[in-house]
């Protein structure tokens, strides 16, 4: 007897340090490859899974979403534990649920949220080197926060797009953008990482800077290019109004450099509620 297929959605978290990004590549190990291998070992099925966003090499995820259709009798909730048995420690299945047959991890997404972490303390704790970007200049948060109003809304964001054009349109809608200082972890707040000759700092108790942005979609390297531009404002090279000027210019050459991948995290992906519910 042939079992009916079901559509399974996975929420996946991973440390991207040791991977060539999400998508299967011929020149290195990827997160997709690991998850697909785990599915094959668990169910005996060989398949390609869909994903919300193809994160680049070194980028991390707290809430990547993947989906696949399976005829396996394993209950949707059991996929989480079952797959974890066959995955490395730096990839975690956070949740597994059944979703509507028409759910598509890529095309059904209504919005995504990314976070970029910056460290502007004088000395970078070694265990953080793969998870934050260390800026060599002291940063002032308020001009960066002031500039964010230019991001919100619907704009042509080709100025932040690598290899324009790589999509049919460069127009995107940003619903939310925030930036704030965060306290250092207690283990890194000691004087060893704040030497006497470090120079002035806006707030030595909060060396982490967290930028978050939520939109209906993102262009290639868009978030990292925005961060590179914000850092120019934060370190005093450009005024707060510069971000708006860059967007109006639609010129990639006016924006800042692309910030390194290892500070970037895919935080969350949202979908229409009706696609997350399966009718009885």
In tens, the pLDDT along 26-46 reads 899 999 999 999 999 999 999
Q: What is the CATH number of the domain that holds 50?
A: 3.30.70.580
Q: Is residue 56 flagged as an active site residue? A: yes
In the chain, the number of structural domains is 2
CA dihedral for 83, 84, 90, 93, sign (positive or negative): positive
Strands (E), the chain: 6-14, 50-51, 60-70, 91-99, 111-119, 133-134, 153-156, 171-182, 208-215, 264-270
Q: Closest Cα to residue 102, out of 280, 276, 239, 234?
A: 276
Co-location of 119 and 79 in the same domain = no
Co-location of 47 and 182 in the same domain = no
Instruction: Of 1-10, 162-171, 182-191, 202-211, give the lowest mean pLDDT range.
Output: 182-191
Co-location of 66 and 133 in the same domain = no
The pLDDT tens digits of the residues spanning 104-129 come to 999 999 999 999 999 998 888 899 99
Q: What is the pLDDT of residue 161?
A: 94
Average pLDDT over residues 244-269: 97
For the cut 50, the answer to whether the pLDDT of residue 1 exceeds it is no
Co-location of 20 and 104 in the same domain = yes
The pLDDT tens digits of the residues spanning 55-82 come to 999 999 999 999 999 999 999 999 999 9
Q: Which of 108, 128, 153 is the last residue of a domain?
A: 108
Co-location of 119 and 94 in the same domain = no
Question: Which residue has better confidence, 153 or 277?
Answer: 153
Using pLDDT thresholds of 50, 70 and 90, give the confidence band for residue 187. Answer: low
- φ, ψ of residue 200 to 5 degrees: the values are -65, 150
pTM exceeding the 0.85 threshold for the entire prediction:
yes
Q: What is the pLDDT of residue 188?
A: 56
Residue 13 lies in a domain: yes
Q: What is the pLDDT of residue 134?
A: 94
Catalytic residue among 15, 56, 101, 156: 56
Q: Range of 234's domain? A: 111-268
Q: What is the CATH number of the domain that holds 210?
A: 3.30.70.660
- φ, ψ of residue 123 to 5 degrees: the values are -130, 130
Residue 278 lies in a domain: no
Average pLDDT over residues 163-174: 88
Residue 277 lies in a domain: no
Instruction: Of 21-35, 77-91, 141-155, 176-190, give the lowest mean pLDDT range.
Output: 176-190
Alpha carbons 138 and 222: distance in angstroms, whole number: 24
Using pLDDT thresholds of 50, 70 and 90, give the confidence band for residue 136. Answer: confident
Instruction: Of 2-6, 110-114, 264-268, give the lowest mean pLDDT range.
Output: 2-6
Q: What is the pLDDT of residue 3?
A: 65
Q: What is the pLDDT of residue 190?
A: 46
Question: 184: which 2 tokens?
Answer: 């250092």
232's CB contacts (< 8 A; 6+ apart) are 238, 242, 256
Residue 1 lies in a domain: no
User: Residues of the chain with pLDDT > 70: what percent?
Assistant: 92
């Amino acid at each position: 007897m042939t079992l009916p297929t079901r559509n399974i959605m996975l929420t996946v978290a991973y440390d991207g340090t040791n991977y060539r990004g999400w998508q299967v590549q011929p020149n290195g190990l990827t997160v997709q490859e690991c998850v697909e291998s785990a599915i094959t070992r668990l169910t005996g099925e060989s398949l390609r899974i869909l994903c919300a966003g193809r994160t680049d090499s070194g980028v991390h995820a707290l809430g990547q979403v993947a989906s696949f259709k399976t005829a396996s009798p394993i209950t949707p909730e059991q996929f989480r534990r079952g797959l974890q048995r066959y995955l490395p420690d730096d990839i975690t299945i956070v949740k597994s649920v059944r979703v509507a047959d028409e759910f598509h991890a890529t095309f059904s997404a209504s919005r995504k949220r990314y976070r970029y972490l910056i460290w502007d303390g004088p000395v970078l704790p070694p265990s953080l080197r793969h998870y934050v970007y260390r800026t060599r200049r002291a940063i002032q948060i308020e001009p960066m926060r002031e500039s964010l109003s230019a991001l919100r809304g619907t704009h042509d964001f080709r100025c932040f797009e690598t290899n324009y054009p790589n999509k049919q349109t460069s127009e995107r809608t940003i619903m939310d953008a925030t930036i704030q200082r965060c306290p250092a972890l207690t283990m890194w707040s000691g004087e060893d990482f704040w030497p006497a000759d470090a120079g002035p700092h806006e707030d030595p108790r909060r060396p982490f800077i967290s930028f978050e942005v939520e939109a209906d979609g993102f262009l290639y390297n868009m978030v990292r290019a925005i961060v590179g531009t914000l850092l120019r404002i934060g370190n005093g090279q450009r005024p707060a109004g510069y971000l708006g000027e860059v967007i109006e210019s639609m010129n990639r050459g006016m924006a800042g450099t692309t910030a390194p991948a290892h500070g970037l995290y895919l935080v969350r992906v949202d979908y229409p509620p009706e696609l997350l519910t399966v009718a009885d």
